[in-house]
Amino acid sequence: METILIVEDDPSILFGLTKNLKYEGYEVITANDGDSGLQEALSGKADLILLDIMLPGVNGLEIARTLKRAEIEIPIIMISARNQEIDKIMGLDLGADDYITKPFKVRELLARIRAVMRRQRRHDQRIRDEKRDYGEFMVDFAARTVSRDGSILEFSPREFELLRFFLENPNRVLERSHILNRVWGYDYEGTARTIDNFVTKIRQKLEADPEAPRFFVTARGLGYKFIETPEPATSGAELEAEPDPEEADEPEAAKKVRGRTSRRAKAATPSKPTAKAKAKPARAKKSSRRLKTGTRK
C-alpha cells in the first residue's frame, strides 16, 4: 500500500484530503506546518507528497529545495493558491512533478496523483528488473542477487541496498553523511565507521584485490566513489611475461655491470684510517732520519 504525505496548514483541506485518500486505499501521513512537514519528508516514509507552498515555518518551496539538495527522489504535487506562471515554474524547477492551484476538484487531484504514481512505478520497475554486468561481477535487481564467476554471493539486505546506491550513482563522489541518509535513513544515529565497515565487506566480495580496489574507491576526506568502468589491472606477472626484446639476453651482463660498478663505488668511498695506517707515517719518518744519518757517515 502506497503512502502519501500531506503538508497543509488549512484544517478543512487537510481533513478532506485525508478522508478521500484513505477511501482510495492510500496510507496517509499529515503535517500542518513546514517544520514537521520537512521532518516527515526526510524520514523517507512517503511515496508521494502533497505540498502546500504557504506554510507556517518552512515554506513549501524551501521543503522542495531541501529534498532536491539531499537528492531524495520522492514525487511531489504542489498545492497552492498562487496561480501565477512564475510560481508554477519555480515549483517545477525545484523538483515538483505536478502543480495544482486552489480551489481544485478532488477528482482532478486524485487523477493527477494516479498519473504521478504510475510514472514512479514504471521507473522503479525498470530499475528492479534490470540486470547489470560489470565484467567481474553481475547484479540482478529483480532477484536481488550478486554473482561473481558464476557463483551467487551472500549479501545482507543492507549490503545490497548500499551496493544498489553505489551502482545508481556511478563515477560520483558520495559523502558519508549522504550515504547514511539515503541507505540507513535520516533517523539513523550511527557513525561514518558503519559505512566503512560495509564498504570493506563489499570490497572483499567483489574486488579482485580488496587492498587495492578498482570499483569501490575512497575519496579521501569525503566518502566513496563507484567507478563503473575502471582501468584494467596490470599485475606483476603480466609485466614479467612481456620483457623488452632488446633486453632479453641482458640479465647476466647486467649483473656483471652492477658488480663492477659496486666495486668501483666501494673503492672510491673513503674508509676510516686504521691504527696500522696511522702508524705507517711515523715509521716512514724514522726511516728517513736513519737514511740521512747514514749519508752523513
Tell me the pLDDT tens digit for each residue of 39-54. Answer: 999 888 899 999 999 9
Q: Contact, 18 vs 30, CB < 8 A? A: yes
What pLDDT is attached to residue 239?
32
- Lookup: cell for 297: 757517515
pLDDT at 284: 45
Q: What is the model's pLDDT at position 237?
A: 31
**Grid cell at residue 8:** 497543509
Looking at residue 88, its pLDDT comes to 82
| Separation CA 42–CA 36 (nearest Å) | 10
Distance CA 71, CA 35 (A): 19
pLDDT tens digit sequence for 246-296: 333 444 444 444 455 445 545 555 555 544 444 444 444 444 444 344 444
Parts of the chain with a pLDDT under 50: 235-258, 261-262, 265, 274-297
pLDDT of residue 255: 45
Amino acid 83: pLDDT: 76
Cis peptide before 251 (omega within 30 of 0): no
| DSSP per-residue codes, 12-46 | HHHHHHHHHHHHTT-EEEEESSHHHHHHHHHTT--
